Every structure is written in C-alpha cells, then in structure tokens.
Amino acid sequence: MAEDWHAADVHNTTTRERTRTMIHEIIPFPVRPWTLNGISERMLVSHYENDYGGAVRTLNAVRSDLAALDDKTPGDRIRSLKREELLAMGSVTLHELYFGNLGGEGNKIPDQVRAMLEEHFGSVAAWRREFLGAARSLAGGSGWVQAAVDAAPVLALDMYEHAYHMDFGANAVAYIDAFMRNVDWAAVIERMDAVRADRSLPSDDPSDQSLPSLSIEELTARLAKGEPVQVVDARPRHHISRNVDLMEGAIWHDPDRVEEWIGELSPDQPVAVYCAYGFHVGCNVAKALRERGFDARYIRGGVSAWYAAGGARALRPAGA
Ligand SMILES: [Fe+2]
C-alpha cells in the first residue's frame, strides 16, 4: 500500500469544506445522462462539459483574479470582477439545479407538488401556462425559467440555445416538452422541503460514499505535485470505442478483464480509476483493485468532470 496517499489524507470533501476553499468544484453528473427520454446523452454531456464546465472555469478564474487584488486596485476593476463573479456564480448554480432536476418521470406530478401549485396558481394548468409561456417566450433568445419557493429556485429550465440546439435545432417548443417529460419531481420536492426548513439545498452527488474517492480537483493537485498516481481509464469497451480521446496520462484497461492487466500496475503506487461519469463502472474496478491490496480510489464525476474542469485530453493509442 502506498503510504504517502494516506498520509496526505485525501478524503471526500464535504460541501462545507468545499465552500471554505476558493475553488468551486465541478459537481459529478447528478443524473445518468443516457437515461433521459428524448434528450440525448451527447447533448447533455456537451452541455455539462462545455457550458456548465465553462461557467465553473470562469468563476474560478475570476475568483483567482479577486484573490490577487491589493490595496492599489482601482474600484472599477473590483466592481467589474465582482459583476463577472456574480454572473458566473448564477450560471454555475442554475446549471447544477438544471441537471439535478432532470431524470424523472415529469408527467407524473406528485400530490405534494400538485397541492402547492393549486394553492399558489389556482391549478396545475395555470402554472404550466405561466411556466411554459415564459419558456416559449425565450425561444430564439436565451435565459432561464425558474419555479421558486420564497425566492429560492426549486426547478430550473435552461433556455439558452446550447441547451437544445444539438437535438432540436430551432424547435425550442419540442425541447420544452422533452424537458417537462424528464422533470425529476422528487428532486424538486427535496428542494422545497429544504427551503421550508431553512436548510441549504440538498446536494445531488450520486457518488458511492462507501468507497474512497477523489475529486477532479484533488487529483489535479496531486498530479501537479508530481505524485506517482497511476490513472486508469476503465470505461467499458463499447464506450471507449466511440471516443477517440482520454484523460492525458491515463491508460485504458478493459473493466471486464481486471485479472488480465492488474499485473501491469505497480503495487506500491496509488491508483486512480475513472469511468465516463463516475457511476458504477469505475467504482467496481476500484473495489476489485482494493480487494487485491491496491490503494485504489475512483474519480468522482469521471472523465466528463475532468473535461468540464478543463483537464487535458490525449488521443487514445490505436488498438487500445
Ligand atoms: Fe446551459
């Protein structure tokens, strides 16, 4: 077992710990992106990696500029940075809410939501008229539509073109219908409950908490220090065959044939395993390696979170 990995105490950061640091961590996909009804995995992943990831990268860049200010910095420079920070923070938060409120059966509105909508709007139909009307009015434009409780958003709909153009072209109405079919009302209820109880909004991190893991930011910090982390790409063969690139420095190994390649790993150096989004595959491989005595961790959010954070890509070697 690699002692330095443990000595440095890489642990799962909690939300509270994350907010103490300046860096906003990319959240892992809160929804399995291949499970949506009429919204493609390709579009959702592009949205997450490029647009959400871009907002997080902007936010972190602005915060690092702010941290570098001194007493001589002119007020207008501070003001413009704070304005940029607010804009980026809004985009980051709304995207996290948006991905987190997808993945359900949107057509089945639970009684609890129904009662709430009837109380405040008169009927579900009246609420839909307002919500969908606001969304349709943004077709060809851009913006967010939100349902809020006490000014806190509990349902977010992204009406920027990047949210739908790949699947729907200019047909924003079809996108809005698809969005409504996929609303995860359970997530909305959790948020409503949190607002009412004056708690912070629940985190949608679906990562396996029972296994040691690493965030992208923790991995980046370790690699930057030159630590000898063996990074294993464990995406299933059918997934990797559709993708020409992988995380720079990683080696692809078939997750179904661990016994065949485990001998290539160095037993005294830590292993970081990733899959596409950080759900089960990477976890299973990390678990198998741990059972064989390796100090293995899975990477939360998978390679998608790595790309979203701006991590470097490499071309997969032919035949691998
Ligand atoms: Fe977006």
Q: What is the pLDDT of residues 105-135, one digit of tens each?
A: 999 999 999 999 999 999 999 999 999 999 9
User: Are 176 and 236 in a shared domain?
Assistant: no
Domain range holding 73? Answer: 29-196
Cα 183 to ligand 1 centroid, rounded to whole Å: 16
User: Are 188 and 221 in a shared domain?
Assistant: no
> Would residue 265 count as lying in a domain?
yes
Residue 202 pLDDT:
74
Residue 239 pLDDT:
85
User: Are 187 and 291 in a shared domain?
Assistant: no
Cα 147 to ligand 1 centroid, rounded to whole Å: 17
Cα 287 to ligand 1 centroid, rounded to whole Å: 34
Is residue 205 over pLDDT 80?
Answer: no
CA 250 – CA 233 distance, rounded (Å): 6
Cα 94 to ligand 1 centroid, rounded to whole Å: 8
Cα 215 to ligand 1 centroid, rounded to whole Å: 22
Is residue 2 over pLDDT 70?
Answer: no
> Would residue 292 count as lying in a domain?
yes
User: Are 52 and 183 in a shared domain?
Assistant: yes
- Last residue of some domain: 152, 169, 196? 196
Percent of the chain past pLDDT 90, that is, above it, reads 80
Distance of CA 44 to the CA centre of its chain: 11
Cα 176 to ligand 1 centroid, rounded to whole Å: 14
CATH code, 88: 3.55.40.20
Cα 105 to ligand 1 centroid, rounded to whole Å: 21
- Last residue of some domain: 196, 225, 250? 196
Residue 201: pLDDT band (50, 70, 90) is confident
Distance of CA 305 to the CA centre of its chain: 6
Cα 319 to ligand 1 centroid, rounded to whole Å: 36
> Would residue 207 count as lying in a domain?
no
Is residue 4 over pLDDT 70?
Answer: no
Residue 206: pLDDT band (50, 70, 90) is low
Is residue 8 over pLDDT 70?
Answer: no
Answer for the pair 139, 173: CB distance below 8 angstroms, yes or no: yes
33: amino acid identity, one letter: P
Lowest mean pLDDT among 35-44, 52-61, 295-304, 309-318: 309-318
Cα 139 to ligand 1 centroid, rounded to whole Å: 14
Tens-place pLDDT, residues 132-152: 999 999 998 899 999 999 899
Cα 218 to ligand 1 centroid, rounded to whole Å: 26
Cα 50 to ligand 1 centroid, rounded to whole Å: 9
> Would residue 231 count as lying in a domain?
yes
Cα 55 to ligand 1 centroid, rounded to whole Å: 9
Answer for the pair 95, 52: CB distance below 8 angstroms, yes or no: yes
> Would residue 245 count as lying in a domain?
yes
Mean pLDDT, all residues of the chain: 90
User: Are 220 and 152 in a shared domain?
Assistant: no
- pLDDT (average), residues 184-188: 96
Residue that is written with structure tokens 């977010």 in the block: 156
CATH code, 301: 3.40.250.10
Residue 320: pLDDT band (50, 70, 90) is low
Quickly count: other Cβ atoms within 10 Å of residue 72's Cβ. Answer: 5
Cα 95 to ligand 1 centroid, rounded to whole Å: 6
Cα 280 to ligand 1 centroid, rounded to whole Å: 26
User: Are 188 and 46 in a shared domain?
Assistant: yes
Residues by chain with Cβ below 5 Å of ion ligand 1: 51, 158, 160, 163
User: Are 190 and 311 in a shared domain?
Assistant: no
Cα 262 to ligand 1 centroid, rounded to whole Å: 40
Is residue 15 over pLDDT 70?
Answer: no
Residue 30 pLDDT:
92
Cα 256 to ligand 1 centroid, rounded to whole Å: 35
Cα 93 to ligand 1 centroid, rounded to whole Å: 11
Residue 118 pLDDT:
96
Residue 11 pLDDT:
40
User: Are 187 and 82 in a shared domain?
Assistant: yes
End-to-end Cα distance, the chain: 28
Residue 3: pLDDT band (50, 70, 90) is very low
> Would residue 285 count as lying in a domain?
yes
Residue 283 pLDDT:
87
Residue 175: pLDDT band (50, 70, 90) is very high
Cα 271 to ligand 1 centroid, rounded to whole Å: 33
User: Are 245 and 217 in a shared domain?
Assistant: yes
> Would residue 202 count as lying in a domain?
no
Number of domains comprising the chain: 2
Cα 140 to ligand 1 centroid, rounded to whole Å: 14
User: Are 230 and 185 in a shared domain?
Assistant: no
Is residue 295 over pLDDT 90?
Answer: yes
Cα 171 to ligand 1 centroid, rounded to whole Å: 16
- pLDDT (average), residues 196-206: 78
User: Are 68 and 93 in a shared domain?
Assistant: yes
Q: Report which of residues 280 and 295 the model is more confident about.
A: 295
- Last residue of some domain: 153, 169, 196? 196
Residue 18 pLDDT:
42
Residue 23 pLDDT:
87
Cα 161 to ligand 1 centroid, rounded to whole Å: 8
Q: Tell me which residue of 236, 205, 215 sits closest to 297, measured CA to CA.
A: 215
Lowest mean pLDDT among 35-39, 143-147, 237-241: 237-241
User: Are 45 and 115 in a shared domain?
Assistant: yes
Residue 238 pLDDT:
87
Residue 191 pLDDT:
95
> Would residue 58 count as lying in a domain?
yes
Residue 200 pLDDT:
82
